[in-house]
Amino acid sequence: MYIVHHTDTVETGVSHDLHLRKRSYLSCYDAKYKEHQCTRFANFSVARIRAGENVTPHSHKDMHEFFLVQRGTLDLKINGGEMGVYTLHRHDLIHIAPGELHELSNPKPQKDSYVKWGEEGYTETMTSPPSDNVPMFDYEDDDLAVYYFGFVEEELGGSTGQVYSSRELKNSTGIEPQTPRLKSIRVIELDGAEHCMSSMGIANSMNLREMHNYLPGDGTTDYCVGVVLSGKGEIVCNEDGNERRDFIVPGSLFACSLSDACDAHIQTTEKHASLSVLAVVCRR
């Protein structure tokens, strides 16, 4: 299993707009990432766009790109706005196909603002739950935060500006993008309404194999990449008889296999606690 927390990452400028700030969780240039064979992902990052700022129009030759709004409002134009302006709100997602010229902006009026990234972090060797009082970011009211990831496919087709609402993402099956290897995208919400017993007491839990209709012995090579949107909990992964536990907080990203040899589930760690995770399932 691969896991990284936002405080393990480095704040940098976006390649095509250096004044915009991002943190990258996965990169195709990262040796540790390659070891875990999540090689279809070109990147998985979070960016902050200040009020009145925009991203320079650009396109990607061979990469599908997905944007999910974490906070604020996103305006997006495709091919110069020939289809109008797409407006997305919290937990809405949009799919941009290869070759599509796209421009993102924060529609709030421009003003002086800043961001302070969290200074305290949690590593893979955590042995106790993180504090509730440590925020991931300190935001100005009008800031926009967007999670985005690029996914490489042999087939480059796709729908222009396919938008999925937060309601669609949060249903029991999520959505199925029009790409051959990307199987589903879903926002999992564990809200404490149902409980089961865990090693740390009463918790709400979900086995990640439920994301892809797992059947024992089916020889699947699927894997799941997830990032915590809100709440806190833990991920428990039993791979080839070796169990690993990691606490997860907003901004924690994990990647794990969904094969016969790996059994992984996420769970809250306190009664009536909540946990919201963006989970992406794909074929190798």
Calpha distance 145→142 (Å, rounded): 10
Tell the CATH superfamily of the 2-283 domain.
Jelly Rolls (2.60.120.10)
C-alpha neighbours within 13 Å on the C-beta side of residue 54: 12
Tens-place pLDDT, residues 148-159: 999 887 665 555
Calpha distance 14→20 (Å, rounded): 6
Q: Pull the structure tokens for residue 258.
A: 């969904």
Calpha distance 48→35 (Å, rounded): 29
Judging by DSSP bridges, how do beta strands 116-117 and 63-71 pair with one another?
unpaired
Higher per-residue confidence, 17 vs 88:
88
Contact present, 68 and 149 (Cβ < 8 Å):
no
Tens-place pLDDT, residues 47-91: 989 899 999 999 988 889 999 999 999 999 999 888 889 999 999
2-4: strand order across its sheet: 2-4, 253-257, 222-231, 275-283, 182-190
Q: 116 pairs with which residues across the strands?
A: 138
Asked if pLDDT for residue 134 goes beyond 90, the answer is: no
| Residue-range domain boundaries for the chain | 2-283
